[in-house]
Structure 1
């Protein structure tokens, strides 16, 4: 069961100029580098850490949902 929708776009701020680029989790996992439209700098995201953080969040959400009694 997947809880996190990897197609949802996230605002990723440029560390240089602060411009926010909308990228999905899938896009980041497939290509962790992008060119900032605000300043033209190539941004390299750490996809390995990002992917692990998503997996950890998914585990925590599953655990939380399991504890909810309807």
Structure 2
């Protein structure tokens, strides 16, 4: 399961959440200070798609190993 750390803009605590969780939630409470953290899900999903495309392109361009 892939996860990322989301920093709290108030206290700086890094909160780990799975990518699947972020895809289905728009906000959560900081485990440290209780502040509401609002996620920019549309931006996150767009960046995630870009990263997936770059990974796929890199794998396609990698030289094939000889066995």
Same fold? TM cut 0.5: yes
**Which residue number corresponds to residue 51 of structure 2?**
57
Give how far 1:14 is off. Answer: 0.2
Query: Matches of 2:34 and 2:45 in 1, distance apart?
Result: 25
When the two structures are superposed, what TM-score results if normalisation uses the length of structure 1?
0.84
User: Structure 2: which 5+ residue stretches go unaligned?
Assistant: none
Structure with higher Rg: it is 2
Return the match for 1:23 from 17, 20, 36: 17
Structure scoring higher RCO (CA < 8 A, sep ≥ 6) equals 1
Where do 4+ consecutive residues of structure 1 move more than 6 Å?
A: none
Report what 1:11 is aligned to. Answer: 5
Q: Give the drift of 1:10.
A: 1.5
